[in-house]
Amino acid sequence: MLIPPEQLIDGCVRTLLETVLPGIESRFARGQLYAVADVLRNLRDRLEEKNASLELEAQSLNDSLGRAASALRATGHTAAYDVGLRIDKSLAAAPTAPLSARLGALRTVMASALEALDGLSEDVTKGAKAALGGHFAAQAVREVMILKPSLLSEISKG
């Protein structure tokens, strides 16, 4: 998530009170809306992103980067071998806890690895890319699976 949950809730409350409320005439419905705002305001400081999904991402990053490093070392290509070694070293240096620090470090290793692979020819990086692709696929599926069906069309229709 790129927007912190607290900020999302603040945005919901603001929209309810400033945009929705003026359009509601029923006193009972207005009261219910205030109640929703009250619930949301009190919920905002009790929320945090679930750890389980972050742990899965960290594990997936670590595994795929490890496999990519092995693939690069196995190519026999000097520059690719060096990139593989650098990935291994970065993985070993990543903190094991707290989770947020570990995840941040692993994401940085991934970004650096991709940048390094960009400088190598595609035939040399094929195996490493396949390993990283496993992470891309798994992460994409994990993130989509937790999403609820989109209300985008209703939002557009108004």
Q: Which residues of this protein are in contact with other proteins, per CB under 8 A?
A: 1-3, 7-8, 11-12, 14-15, 18-19, 107, 110-111, 114-115, 117-118, 122, 129, 132-137, 139-141, 143-144, 147-148, 150, 152-153, 155-158
Q: Are 64 and 135 spatial neighbours (Cβ–Cβ below 8 Å)?
A: yes
Q: What's the rounded Cα separation, in Å, for the pair 125 and 61?
A: 17
User: Can you tell me whether residue 50 is helix, strand or coil?
Assistant: coil
Of residues 75 and 116, the one with the C-beta less far from other proteins: 116
Of residues 13 and 28, the one with the C-beta less far from other proteins: 13
Shortest distance, CB of residue 116 to other proteins, whole angstroms?
11
Of residues 85 and 111, the one with the C-beta less far from other proteins: 111
Nearest to 67 by CA among 127, 137, 152, 6: 127
**Chain centroid to CA 83:** 25
